[in-house]
Amino acid sequence: MRSTLHDPLLTPENRLWRAVLEQAYADAESGGDSDAGATDVGEGSPERIRARYYLRGDNKQEVSALALVCGFAEVPADRVLRWARKNYPRPTAADTRLPDTPTREPLAIGFVGARHGRVRSCAQVPA
């Protein structure tokens, strides 16, 4: 039996954002063991490539998006970035092109916007 005495209190929102990180990890690992040492470009599904770019934080937008999700999930973003950069090496400079698919789902952007809207509306309520 697992003790909950030392576990941090996780809200349903924390669990949701941790599930987002878990899905990114599952997508990054998709493709089987046959291509475990393969580079990202041209190999594997678009979801796998996008997930690895996202977890590594290959550009400023992805770093900030990952930091935001990690903050909501109460997971240290620097550890996620360090782990992903160690386990998923970056492609060479000639192969840095993403697949021709969108990098963000509109639904995820809506969640972030809804949360920020809620925070703003609570802050504007007079005391």
Give a yes or no: residue 3 inside a domain.
no
Instruction: Tell me if 56 sits within 8 A of 85, measured CB to CB.
Output: yes
User: Domain containing 35: what range?
Assistant: 12-123
Q: Is residue 115 part of a domain?
A: yes
The pTM (predicted TM-score) of the whole model is: 0.60
Which residue's structure tokens are 């003790």? Answer: 3
At 90-99, the pLDDT tens digits run 876 555 555 5
Task: Identify whether 1 is part of a domain.
Answer: no
Domain for residue 103, yes or no? Answer: yes
Burial class of 86 by CB neighbour count within 10 A (0 to 12, 13 to 18, 19+): exposed
Query: Apex CA 95: angle with CA 92 and CA 99, to 5°?
Result: 140
Q: For the chain, what is the domain count? A: 1
Residue 57: Cβ within 10 Å count: 19
pLDDT tens, position by position, 92-125: 655 555 555 444 444 444 444 444 444 444 445 4
Nearest Cα neighbor of 54 from 87, 79, 31, 21 is 21
